[in-house]
Amino acid sequence: MRLEPIAAPGFARRVLPPLVALGATTLAGAALARFAGADAFAALGLIAKGALGTKFALMETLNRATPLIFAGLSVAVAFRARLWNIGAEAQLYAGALVTVLLGTGILPLPSPLLIPVLALAAILAGAVLLIVPAMLKLRLGVDEVVTTLLVNFIMLLIVSMLLEGPLKDPMGMGWPKSAPLVHEARLPRILPGLRLHWGFGLAVIAAFAVWIIDRRTVAGFEMRAVGAGEAAARFAGIRVPRVVLRTAALSGGLAALAGFSEVAGLKGNLTLDLSPGYGYTGIVVAMLAALNPFGVVLAALFVAAVFVGADSMSRAAGVPTYIADMLLAFALLAMVLALTMTRYRLRRA
Amino acid sequence: MSRASTVALRLSNITKRFGPVLANDRVSLEVAQGEVLALLGENGAGKTTLMNIVFGHYTADEGRIEVFGAPLPFGQPRSALARGLGMVHQHFTLAENMTVLDNLLLGTRPLFALRSGRAAGRKRVLSLAEEYGLRIDPDMPVAALSVGERQRVEILKALYREARILILDEPTAVLTPQEAEGLFATLRRAVKRGLSIIFISHKLNEVMAIADRVVVLRQGRVAGALAISQTNPAELAAMMVGNDVPVPVVQKTREGDVALRLRDVETSGQRPDLRGLSLELVAGRITGLAGVSGNGQAALAALIAGLAVPCSGRIEIAGREIRDWSPAAAIAQGIARIPEDRHHAGTIGDFTLTENAVLERIREPRFSRSGWIDWHAARAHARTLIAGYDIRCPGPDARIRLLSGGNMQKLILGRVLEEAPAVILANQPVRGLDIGALRFVQEKLLAARRRGAAILLISEDLEEIMALSDVIHVISKGRLSPGFARGTMRSTDLGLWMAGRGFDDAA
C-alpha cells in the first residue's frame, strides 16, 4: 500500500477527514473515561459542561486559550517558513521576564503608555531569543531544532535563578516569585465582572494580523515562498537569510506575547509555573491548525476546552486528569492523519 | 540463426496508469535471443515506465510479462534479476566510495560466509571485461571514474549477475559520440554471445546504427514495430511525433552590440569550476553551449543567473562592469532566466500561477506599494501570460503543481519574456517537453532573437544546439572552446571538442 497525492481535493475530501478525527477523539475520550471507571457518556458531558457549560467555565477556557493562541501563531509562522522553532516556551518566559522587569515600578507611566511599552519590550526580547539561533543556522548551519529546544532549559534556569535572587519578591513569604506588577501595567478586563482579560482580544487580533501579513504583504509572501520552495525563492531574487531573520523576529515576538499576556492579564507576577508547557503545546496547536492562523484560534480553543473540561470532569467523576493529556495526544494523531488523508489517497501497490 | 527465433522477453498488453495519465496503453512487444531491440520514443512516450515495469520497479495495472516462456511476477526486482534481466539506468546506481570490484560484488554474496570469494569474483570480473571489451581497473574507486567508465561498470555489473537480457535506458545521453561508439562495440559483442538487448533512446541515428528491430512508442502506445533494414530515419521520426519533425526556421537577423560579457571568470565551490572562461553574448544572436552534461554548464548557468559570483574575472553588462552580483541584480539588469530545473528553481509547486508569475517582481511598484501587494494587478498579469503564452490551466488561482511540464515552462517563459529582456539564459528549455510545447518554446526564443535579445542556449542535445545557434561554444571541464559559426562544424567535430580535445593550451 502506498500514498498517492490528490491533485485537486474536493470539498468533502477536505472537510470530512478532520470531522472524522474529531469524532474519533470523542469516542476515545469516552473509552478512556470508561477505562478509568466512570460512565463514559456522562464523563463526556462533564467535559463539555466543565469547559463551556457555565459563564465561569467559558471564561476559564478563553483565558486558557490565550497563551495557546500566541504560542500556536508563533510556531505556525515559523514552521510555514521552515524555521523549526521549538523554543516558544523560552520566548514566552523571555516576554514574561521583561514584563516583570519593566512593569514593577521602574517606569512611571500611565496605563495607555505603559502597556504598549511592555508589550513591545516583550516582543523584542522574544525576537532576540529566536534571531540568535536563526543566525547560527544561517551562518554556521547549526540545526535550530536543537538550539531552540536547549534554549528552553537555559531560559527556565535563568528565570529560576532570578526568582531565587534579585527578582524575589521581598513580601513573598519566601516563595520564589517576583514582585507584583504595578496597577498601571495590568491588562484590563474585556467586560466588567468577567475574568476574561484583554490578552484574549490581543491574541485574536494577532491572528488577524498574521493572516493579513501572510496574504496581503510582500513580507508574508516572501516568508511563504521561502517555506514552500526555498530554491525557487532564492532564484527569484528573494533574500532568503533576511526573510528567515524576519520570520524569527515575528515568531519569537508572538511567543513572547503569550508570556506578557499571562503576567499582565492573568497572574500579575512571574513564577516558575507560569506556563505548564504552553510553548510546547503551541506546536500541537499549530499542527492541529495546519499552520493556518484562524485555525490556530480554533485549535487553541479546542485544546483549552479539553484541558479545562477534563480538569473539571476528573474532579467531578473522580478520574485522573491525565485523561486530558491522552485525549490531546489522540486528537493530534487523529488530526495529522486526517490532514494527510485530505491530500493523499491510499492505494494498493 | 536458429537461436534468433527463441523469444527472450515477451510483453503482452501492458497498461499502466498514473492517476489520470495513461503512461502505457496495451503495449506488446517481443525481443528475440541475440538481437538488439530499440525502444524509440520522445521524452514522456512511456519508454522508461515500460522498462521499470519489466524490471519490477513499477507494477503494471494490466498485462503479462514472459521471460524465456515463463511468466514473470510483477513488482519484484529480485525475481527479474534472478531470471536474467539486467538494467542500466540513466542515473547510475553505484556506491561512489567503493571500488569497482566491491560494487560488482555488492549484493551477490551471502551476508555470512567463511570465504569472501573476492579472489574468484575478481577473476570472473577480469575475464568478463576481457570478453566484452570493457576496459576497467577493478580496484579503482568509483568516485574517480568518468561517466563513460561508470557506465561500463554498470554493464559489467549486469553481466556479472548473468544477465541474459540487458536493458539500457538512454545510455548515450551522458556519452561523447566517441564513447558511444565504444559502447556500441561492446553491445555488438554481447549479442554475438547470445544476449538480448533493449536499447531505449530518442536518437534516430543511434537506433539506425545499433538495432536489429525497433519498436516506436508514442504517448504510451506502440506506434510501430519494424525491422531496421526496412525503415529509415525519416519514417521513424514521423512515427515518433505523429507528424512532420519540426525544423525551426532560423532567419538571418542583424546582430548588435555585446549585451553580456564574461572576462576570464573563475568560480570556486562548483563541480567542475569555470576556469578562465570568457564569453560574449551578442544582441540578436543565439549562442549555443554544447557539452557532455556535468562539464561546467551548471556553474556557468548559476553565474549568469546571479546564483554564484565569480572569484576572479569580470561580468560586464552593456559594457559596464557589474560588482554586486545576485539573482536580484541579474533580474534588475534585464537578464531573463529560464532555469534547468523548472520544478525546484523555476516555480513553487504549492503557489498559484499568479504567485509564480510575480515571484521575481513582487517588489516592483506595479505589484506592490509600500509592502502591500496589489493582487488585482498580479492576477491581471497572470491572465495576460496565460492568454499570451497559451498556458493550459484551470485559471490564475490554480496551484502550479497541477500543470504539465510544458505549461509550467510556458509560464516561466512568459514571466521573463514579457519583460523584453536584453539577455536570455535558456538552460535546457525544452527538456522533457512534448512536441507542441517544444516548438512553442523554440519559436518564442527565435522571436526574442529577432527582437534583438542576446540568448545563451544550454542544451545536451547537440541537434537542438546545431539547429538553433548562430554561434556554438563547447564546454569541457569548465573550459570554453572558441565560438564556431553556424554551419562550420559537423557533429563529429563538436564531439571531439566535447571529449576534451583542442583544449590543450589550457591544460
Contact B362 A219 (CB under 8 A): no
SS3 B224: strand
ipTM score of the complex? Answer: 0.85
The owner of cell 488585482 is: B376
Of A297-301, A306-310, B321-325, the range with the lowest mean pLDDT is A306-310
Q: Do B3-241 and B256-334+421-507 agree at the fold level?
A: yes
Q: Domain limits of chain A?
A: 67-290
Q: Domain limits of chain B?
A: 3-241, 256-334+421-507, 347-420
Q: Are A339 and A290 in contact (CB under 8 A)?
A: yes
Dist CA A244 CA B117 (whole Å): 54
Mutation for A interface: B58, B373, B415, B419, most A CBs within 10 A: B373
Confirm or reject contact between B318 and chain A (CB < 8 A). Answer: no
Q: Give pLDDT, residue B454.
A: 96
Q: Give pLDDT, residue A153.
A: 95
Contact A218 B401 (CB under 8 A): no
Strand duo B165-169 + B196-201: pairing: parallel
Of the candidates B308, B226, B248, the one whose C-alpha atom is nearest the C-alpha of residue B457 is: B248
Confirm or reject contact between B306 and chain A (CB < 8 A). Answer: yes
What number of other Cβ atoms are within 10 A of residue B189's Cβ? Answer: 14
Confirm or reject contact between B59 and chain A (CB < 8 A). Answer: yes
Dist CA B169 CA B473 (whole Å): 28
What number of other Cβ atoms are within 10 A of residue A7's Cβ? Answer: 11
Q: Up-side HSE of residue B68: CA atoms within 13 Å toward CB? A: 14
How many angstroms separate the Cα of A18 from the Cα of each of A336, A339, B451? 9, 7, 54
Instruction: Kindly list the residues from chain B whose CB atom is less than 8 angstroms away from the CB atom of residue A349.
Output: 59, 75
Dist CA A99 CA A94 (whole Å): 9
Confirm or reject contact between B447 and chain A (CB < 8 A). Answer: no
Under the banding of pLDDT at 50, 70 and 90, the label for residue A231 is very high
Contact B345 A231 (CB under 8 A): yes
Strand duo B454-458 + B423-427: pairing: parallel
As its CATH architecture, domain B256-334+421-507 has 3-Layer(aba) Sandwich (3.40)
Q: For B309-314, which contacts have Cβ atoms below 8 Å and span 24 or more sequence positions?
A: B310/B262, B310/B265, B310/B266, B310/B267, B310/B274, B311/B266, B311/B267, B311/B268, B312/B264, B312/B265, B312/B266, B313/B262, B313/B263, B313/B264, B313/B265, B313/B266, B313/B276, B313/B277, B313/B278, B314/B261, B314/B262, B314/B263, B314/B264, B314/B265
Dist CA A12 CA A14 (whole Å): 5
Give DSSP secondary structure letters for B118-184: HHHHHHHHHHHHHHHT----TTSBGGGS-HHHHHHHHHHHHHHTT-SEEEEESTTTTS-HHHHHHHH
Q: Give pLDDT, residue B4.
A: 47
Q: Are B316 and B500 in contact (CB under 8 A)?
A: no
Q: Are B470 and B251 in contact (CB under 8 A)?
A: no
Under the banding of pLDDT at 50, 70 and 90, the label for residue A2 is low
pLDDT in tens, B47-84: 888 988 898 888 888 999 999 988 988 888 888 888 89
Confirm or reject contact between A4 and chain B (CB < 8 A). Answer: yes
Mutation for A interface: B362, B367, B402, most A CBs within 10 A: B362
Q: Are B383 and B396 in contact (CB under 8 A)?
A: yes
Confirm or reject contact between A52 and chain B (CB < 8 A). Answer: no
Contact B373 A235 (CB under 8 A): no
The owner of cell 569555470 is: B274
Pick the CATH number of B3-241 from 3.40.50.300, 3.40.30.10, 3.40.630.30, 3.40.190.150: 3.40.50.300
Q: Give pLDDT, residue B162.
A: 87
- Going by C-beta distance under 8 Å and a sequence separation of 6 or more, which residues neighbour residue A173? none
pLDDT above 90 as % of chain A? 54
**Residue B298 corresponds to which amino acid?**
A
Q: Are B306 and B329 in contact (CB under 8 A)?
A: yes
Instruction: Kindly list the residues from chain B whose CB atom is less than 8 angstroms away from the CB atom of residue A224.
Output: 351
Minimum distance, in Å, between the CA of residue A3 and any CA atom of chain B: 12
- Pick from A218, A229, A238: CB nearest B368: A218
Contact B346 A235 (CB under 8 A): yes
Of A124-138, A187-201, B368-382, the range with the lowest mean pLDDT is A187-201
CA B157 to chain centre: 23
Which three cell numbers, joined as nine digits, stand for B483? 565560438
Dist CA A126 CA A279 (whole Å): 12
Average pLDDT over residues A65-81: 96
- Pick from A217, A225, A239: CB nearest B373: A217
Dist CA A310 CA A323 (whole Å): 7
Average pLDDT over residues A42-46: 83
Which three cell numbers, joined as nine digits, stand for A148? 531552540
How many angstroms separate the Cα of A154 from the Cα of each of A91, A124, A157, A158, A296? 11, 18, 5, 6, 27
Q: Could you say which DSSP state residue A312 is in?
A: H
Q: Are A88 and A255 in contact (CB under 8 A)?
A: yes
Confirm or reject contact between A221 and chain B (CB < 8 A). Answer: yes
Q: Are B467 and B247 in contact (CB under 8 A)?
A: yes
Minimum distance, in Å, between the CA of residue B118 and any CA atom of chain A: 38
How many angstroms separate the Cα of B178 from the Cα of each of A24, B386, B500? 65, 44, 11
Q: Using the predicted structure, report yes or no on whether residue A298 has a pLDDT greater than 80.
A: yes
Which three cell numbers, joined as nine digits, stand for A44? 463526556
Confirm or reject contact between B21 and chain A (CB < 8 A). Answer: no
Q: Which residues pair with B12 in a beta bridge?
A: B64
Q: Could you say which DSSP state residue B403 is in?
A: S
Q: Give pLDDT, residue A251.
A: 97
| Buried-exposed string A262-280: b where 16+ CB fall within 10 A, e elsewhere | bbbbbbbbbbeebbeebbb
Task: List chain B pLDDT tens, one digit each, 507 residues.
Answer: 444 468 999 999 999 887 666 788 899 999 999 999 999 887 667 888 898 889 888 888 899 999 998 898 888 888 888 889 988 887 788 888 888 888 888 877 666 665 667 788 888 888 888 888 888 888 888 888 877 888 889 888 888 888 899 999 888 877 777 788 888 999 999 999 899 999 988 777 788 889 999 999 887 889 889 999 998 877 787 777 665 445 677 777 788 899 999 999 999 887 788 999 999 999 999 999 998 777 889 999 999 999 999 999 999 999 999 989 999 999 999 999 999 888 889 999 999 999 999 999 999 999 999 999 999 999 999 999 999 998 888 889 988 988 878 889 999 999 999 999 999 999 989 877 777 788 889 999 999 999 999 999 998 778 888 889 999 999 988 999 999 999 898 877 888 888 777 776 544
Torsion sign across C-alpha atoms B120, B123, B124, B125 = positive
- Nearest 5°: the CA angle A277, A283, A285 is 95
Minimum distance, in Å, between the CA of residue A228 and any CA atom of chain B: 6
- The overall average pLDDT reported for chain B is 87
A110 exposure class (CB count in 10 Å sphere: 0-12, 13-18, 19+): exposed
- Pick from A222, A232, A234: CB nearest B347: A232
- Going by C-beta distance under 8 Å and a sequence separation of 6 or more, which residues neighbour residue B260? B280, B281, B304, B315, B316, B317, B335, B422, B423, B454
| Buried-exposed string B283-302: b where 16+ CB fall within 10 A, e elsewhere | bbbbbbbbbbeebbbbbbbb
pLDDT above 70 as % of chain B? 94
